[in-house]
Chains A and B, each alone.
Chain A
């Protein structure tokens, strides 16, 4: 058996700005490539990434799903960083609210909030698709559900963004955002004081589970953290990418205008194409083989959702946005026991927003320069100046 090695730095700024060319090359190099920079194995092909995600016994999350030991220590004991059976108990507390049957209760609330926000922005005409819409809407939806006070919410999106960056190498992006990371953690710790959480909120339910002995105090904090971090930056970036698409490819918006039922498929396709979470890591618990390549026990392995989502073995013409593709099997939400617990909420938020915009906007136009953020783990925009024509 062979070993494949590459010197490419996947997290160098130019590769973060445009990851897809380098990922295409690494995907063709072989099924599992050891990256000398940062010392980990990379899986890029759809079938391999999916199989590894489903095989939690060999590809364990229990030693953390970040690259570095420093950050994995912080994740320890959270839903992301445990294996069954411990994982399942934490997940059950979340899915009680986040699974489709729990979401029925909040549909009207999400629609009402989307309507209020969109009415205001459309009346203005010019706005920033990221800072005025994408970074506001999911943050407030989740913050309202968790029952967080208004004060301090402005920390949530930058804080979640910095947290995700810390899943990757301890590089310049993380270092520039350390201060934000600290204030965010400070604020989250303060929120666990339940007198600050709104009565009847999800946050209060989580803290009540501590009183019932269902959760430890630590598990409750990490559950609240899971809502806040996992539920925000990801959705913010997905919605930002969607708005960019509407402005840059007017034909997509026209198609949706004539057939609003394509709102769901449009969201799935942008998730496949952009993969807001580019990938997370696992640790192998045994020697294993990826399509003929041996990966030893104790290896850090990155499951690269973004690379898998553009594998031409699985999706023909993978770089093209095709509104009719409806790729429900994409890996942007991961797969298997850790498959995103919030995916039904993310879909509900996106679909509601698209429908709200469809009823009010004739077409979108870019009205300034599109700026991308340099976050190595979550792919998204910093600024998207838009004009919405009525």
Chain B
């Protein structure tokens, strides 16, 4: 699973970080970082929840 962030949409709500802290991190400027180029299979359920929780649908996976 690879995460794509639509940078124009992300407003830093941080739900993704709450759901999957090993995959997403917001820095102090509210900028989102995806910590892994490929989500380890153990983290996939959490990452899927994170994608679902983004209020502005800025996250996608393939």
A interface list, Cβ under 8 A from B:
54, 88, 95, 99-101, 328-329, 333, 335-337, 339-341, 343-344
Complex Cα distance A174/B7, Å?
40
Closest Cβ of chain B: how far from A94's Cβ, in Å?
A: 10
B interface list, Cβ under 8 A from A:
8-9, 11-15, 29-30, 52-53, 55-57
- A329 touching B53 by the CB < 8 A rule? yes
- A100 touching B13 by the CB < 8 A rule? yes
Complex Cα distance A95/B58, Å?
14
Complex Cα distance A88/B52, Å?
22
- A343 touching B55 by the CB < 8 A rule? yes
Closest Cβ of chain A: how far from B30's Cβ, in Å?
A: 3
- Contact residues in B for A54 (Cβ distance below 8 Å): 57
Looking across the interface, which residue of chain A has its beta carbon closest to that of B29? A101
- Contact residues in B for A88 (Cβ distance below 8 Å): 8
Looking across the interface, which residue of chain A has its beta carbon closest to that of B26? A100
- Contact residues in A for B11 (Cβ distance below 8 Å): 95, 99-100, 341
- Contact residues in B for A343 (Cβ distance below 8 Å): 13, 55
Complex Cα distance A333/B14, Å?
16
11 pairs from A and B in contact (CB 8 Å cutoff): A54-B57, A88-B8, A99-B30, A100-B11, A101-B12, A101-B30, A337-B9, A339-B55, A339-B56, A340-B55, A341-B11
Given contacts A328-B53, A339-B56, contact A344 B13 (CB under 8 A): yes
- Contact residues in B for A333 (Cβ distance below 8 Å): 55
